[in-house]
Amino acid sequence: MPTPKFNSQEIAEALKTVKGWTLESDEAFMHKQWQFDSFKTAMEFITEVADIAEHQNHHPEFLSVYRKMRVRLSTHDASGLTQKDFDLATAIDSLIASQFSHRI
């Protein structure tokens, strides 16, 4: 059974729990962007997020341009945002804080 899609009110409440994530205008996606100290660091970040995503069985979209990295989240089978997206956003933020904050 798919994870239930959040309505606008649920999205607004959940966004309060993650800092710096931006809701896109269609409310189907949210994203966050970082600029790392090097291209190699950005690629290391992708690898670490990929491990987390595999563990959670929830896979983000990545856009990488040199040192800039953008992660975009949505639950495709729900056609919008769900708790899975906010759980992954929280895990990514924890990863940044623990392993990459000094490399941004």
> Quick one: tokens of 8?
């606008």
**pLDDT average, residue stretch 15-37:** 97
Distance, CA of 96 to CA of 6 (rounded, Å): 26
* φ, ψ of residue 50 in degrees (nearest 5): -60, -40
- Residue holding tokens 């491990």? 51
> In which band, very low, low, confident or very high, does the pLDDT at 5 lie, cut at 50, 70 and 90?
very high
Percent of the chain with pLDDT over 90: 96
Q: Domains, the chain, ranges and CATH? A: 28-103 (3.30.1360.20)
Higher-confidence residue: 102 or 22? 22
**pLDDT average, residue stretch 93-100:** 97
**pLDDT average, residue stretch 34-61:** 97
> In which band, very low, low, confident or very high, does the pLDDT at 3 lie, cut at 50, 70 and 90?
confident
Global confidence as pTM: 0.94
**pLDDT average, residue stretch 2-22:** 96
Residue 84 pLDDT > 90: yes
The set of residues, in sequence order, having a beta carbon less than 8 Å from that of 31 and lying 6+ positions away, is 21, 22, 24, 70, 71, 72, 73
